[in-house]
Chains A and B, each alone.
Chain A
């Protein structure tokens, strides 16, 4: 099953590689990973999307907690959460495709952020599935390039991850 883990860790050199190294050394999967500092400059926050059985996720969580720099780990799946990912997608936009592309972007609430005679670059935000759906919906042949940030997530309502 797919899980989305939120991790608070010390904002120190090498901390990220420790987390990534843990996944590779123990043969766990990383589907996506995003990381950046938080409002507290001494802390980074990481979101890791992974998949595995409940036992595997339990081990991942415990092993992450064991890392000295890791302050807190939560599995966002355990309660309601919001998830967002951003994608920049560059598509060929010529002739009648140009109109069609604009319409598609609108439907998915995307924004065209760069325009040339032959291309559009569209910014899209949403769940990973939504971004995937967009790719599915457009003609493969017109996609020139995509770049995705990977998911980041946050608990709904009052629930916060803080120290």
Chain B
């Protein structure tokens, strides 16, 4: 396949995954704000930190109010990572590779874009319908994945699509976990309190992981949650699971045998995956979770850069 097509299908998926994650983060945070009756501004800024776009936000807005953060992360076209921009770019990528994807896939992404394009700004009066709005976005994204899964051949195009989605997802899971680190800062004495519990729960919800977590763990503790979201082998948003599937796709793309590697990307993913296969959550906690997540993000970025080098820059 054309290198450009591989790159576009990869980014189309990264952007869709990003839009989906943002809508989930925003929704969960919004629900959380209803449970906490304290100074709500305090709770919205961490969200902006997790996206890494805090500098741009501070330049543009004078307070991290609910409306401002929601607007910045969803509709603000000056924020390169806003849901709106993700969607514009996902669609633009889709347009450049239309002959490689199915009509249903294109229709989903195009209709999604046409619907959200009509919305320009968030007002206080939009808040009653906000949960519906985010849900609609998530559903459109899921519809897109479903369509992709069911209507195109699982050939190279598909594997590049999967790589985009998995790498973006792994990255966002590290960021969700890290968010707790930001929220936690002032609250040492509150560990174990209702507030603490609510916050951890909201974190699970941000990863749509609440029900699955409950099936495997009996107690909601930081360690359990971290273990589930980082090291679980089969939960689709757990980082290890994402990497494991990405590794399978890379193996198919390079055509190399088990226990050997064909290119640098495959090697990097393989090394990281086997480290995770032998890691324990106790070790991660004792070496510092924030540091561990930071490291993980750096390595995921490295993998993405290597993938770009290997396949897209021919």
A binds B: no
B binding-site residues for A, Cβ under 8 Å: none
